[in-house]
Amino acid sequence: MEQQQNTVEKTILVVDDNKENLTVIGHLLRPFYRVKVANSGIRALEIAATSPKPELILLDVMMPEMDGYEVLRRLRAAPFTHDIPVIFVTAMDADADEEHGLLLGAVDYLTKPVKPALLLARVKTQLELKAARDVLADQNAYLDAEVHRRMAENDLIKDFALHAMAALAEKRDNETGNHLHRTKAYVEALMENLKEHPRFKSELDDPDARRRIAKAAPLHDIGKVGIPDAILLKPGKLTPEEFEIMKTHAAIGAQTIQEAIISVEKAQPGKLEAATLSALDFLEISKQIAGGHHEKWDGTGYPLALSGDAIPLPARLMAIADVFDALMSKRHYKRAFSFEDTVQMIVDGRGKHFDPDIVDAFVLIKDKFLDIAKRYADLPNIGDHA
């Protein structure tokens, strides 16, 4: 009675081409389970593919048209039925036959004539094992969903913290409020255009690599937190001495992020996990952008006077984004240039200030830059410069 109460809702499919065998096995099982029957392999596959899906299949081997081995192969190949446990019930009692059936994926092998007590015991055992597997699968699915939820939550918190850090640096300066959004979007637009370019494909064809660069872009001026307010907030033009101090913000930013890299490596000595390696990769890109976005293609930039491809690609992308936004934006020490004049100044810097191929990409998508400038405009600083 206990077995009946616990298993009455379980569905079992019995497959045999012999009507008498179906009757005998069905009679044994019906007091405890919901029983479906099929007298051929084709019919068995049809029933197994419909709801409610059987929790267990008792399958004869020797049947016309399609034998039990082929039925099992097809069950395992179909997504809806691949996980249904199958017990072979057959008159074939050679060890080789049993081994073959188990190798194909059967969970058990019973020989005819079946012993009622043995059949019921084997069925009950396999149903309990399947129930345990189902519970474990549900738990794994829940845990997987929870891991993804936590990761998404952590990414959101990380992104918020990164933006807050970048915004803190900008708030100490006289930059417009949407400078971070605009420059990030400019960099994204350039990468999208250049991702198939022969020079840049190896670095930009991976969407995750592009996302890391875009996320790092707002940290380009993080080093400004180390510049004295008297210089950073000076309403007039800087003296040559003051400008030299202002220029140190690139080195300060790179050094600050380098210290963060060292702290991450110290926190996880030895073998680093994938998440940590990803974080280090992001920090390295951030350091390249913070330290290199004022370098120039011809080697006349700062802080290291790097030239050409020695300047990291993320910094070269940021250089155009930052200069474009600075030219288009009004500052206390300068007017906002028109879109046409800004484009011309970027073009004039081709091969001198900027990577020539990136300038060429900029020219192709300059209207996207204008759309971004308007979308994130800080009126009245950026108006209609078309």
Q: What is the mean pLDDT of the chain?
A: 86
Domain that holds residue 215: 172-375
282-300: pLDDT as tens digits:
889 999 999 999 999 999 9
DSSP 8-state secondary structure symbol assigned to residue 113: S
Report d(CA 370, CA 382) in Å as an integer. Answer: 10
Question: Is the residue at 244 inside a domain?
Answer: yes
- Based on the number of CB atoms within 10 Å of its own CB, is 150 exposed (0-12), middle (13-18) or buried (19 or more)? exposed
35-69: pLDDT as tens digits:
999 999 999 999 999 988 999 999 999 998 899 99
pLDDT value at residue 209: 93
Query: Do 80 and 46 form a contact (C-beta atoms < 8 A)?
Result: no
Residue 386 has pLDDT above 50, yes or no: no
Based on the domain organization, do 191 and 274 belong to the same domain? yes
Q: pLDDT tier at 175 (50, 70, 90 boundaries)?
A: low
Query: Do 44 and 89 form a contact (C-beta atoms < 8 A)?
Result: no
Q: pLDDT tier at 172 (50, 70, 90 boundaries)?
A: low
Q: pLDDT tier at 383 (50, 70, 90 boundaries)?
A: very low
Q: pLDDT tier at 269 (50, 70, 90 boundaries)?
A: low
Residue 334 has pLDDT above 60, yes or no: yes
The number of distinct structural domains making up the chain is: 2
pLDDT value at residue 385: 35
- Based on the number of CB atoms within 10 Å of its own CB, is 12 exposed (0-12), middle (13-18) or buried (19 or more)? buried
Based on the domain organization, do 114 and 185 belong to the same domain? no
Averaged pLDDT, 225-244: 87
Give me the CATH number covering residue 291.
Answer: 1.10.3210.10
Order of strands across the sheet with 56-59?
Answer: 34-38, 11-15, 56-59, 86-90, 108-111
Based on the domain organization, do 217 and 280 belong to the same domain? yes
pLDDT value at residue 2: 45
145-162: pLDDT as tens digits:
777 776 666 565 556 556
69-107: pLDDT as tens digits:
999 999 999 999 999 999 999 888 777 777 887 888 889
Averaged pLDDT, 302-319: 97
Based on the domain organization, do 89 and 222 belong to the same domain? no
Question: Is the residue at 304 inside a domain?
Answer: yes
